[in-house]
Amino acid sequence: MAKKKYQRQQADNTQDATPSSDSGQPMNIQTILLGVIAVALVVQTFLLLTDDGGTPSYVPSGTAAAPVNNTPAAAPAPNPAAQPANNNASNPNINVTMPNQPQQQQQAQPQQAANTTTAGFSEKTKDFGTVSRTAAPMNHTFTVTNNGTQPLTYTQVRGDQGTTVTSFPTGPIPPGGSGEIKIQFDPSTAQGNGIQSWNIHLDGNTNPSHQHLIVQANIQN
């Protein structure tokens, strides 16, 4: 009996020394909490050891840490010796004073023909004065003189309506020579009363090539 009682007592002591399932659960939660705290400390320590750019500030033992400088590097100063002699080589229009462009030359006037000459007249206008419309036709002669160095030649001499060229020099007039241009004026062809004028047109190798003489009269009924 004593031996069985002793064995039972030993079994009870063994059961009391074995942790129960109830006491095991708190131990597992405590272990988890400690692990979380340890991870948080490691993360915090890592964050403290890093700078704003994410680059670790620590270096392996025995290596000097390079200073972190986020300031952009300044551009190197230009070397005057390396600059080209002409600063406008890349763009010649910068700071360049362009010479004044020559103005467009006026269109050259046609040169006079080598055989042109100058004509002079005894009178440029013939005024018949007051003339009746019913008066008979009147004649007049203009004298033309070649004042140039080339022979004077007329290709055409004609008058306005009311005047008729009866004759003119058809051959060349030598330099210094003269000729006659004869006209006839008919007062009956005048329109209305008053002072009126008619032109005698001359075309030849003169300058200008077309010239004219004037016939004038004060027409009355």
The residue among 121, 199, 139, 202 whose CA lies nearest residue 168 is 202
Mean pLDDT value across residues 167-187 = 97
Do β-strands 210-220 and 125-132 pair in parallel, antiparallel, or remain unpaired?
Answer: parallel
pTM of the model: 0.50
Domain ranges of the chain: 119-220
- pLDDT, tens digit (0-9, with 9 covering 90-100), for 43-88: 777 777 655 544 444 444 444 444 545 555 565 665 645 554 554 4
Least confident interval from 110-119, 126-135, 179-188: 110-119
pLDDT at 28: 74
The residue among 173, 181, 179, 122 whose CA lies nearest residue 148 is 173
pLDDT at 71: 55
pLDDT at 45: 74
Classified by CATH at the fold level, domain 119-220 comes out as Immunoglobulin-like (2.60.40)
Question: Exposed, middle or buried: residue 215 (CB in 10 Å: 0-12, 13-18, 19+)?
Answer: buried
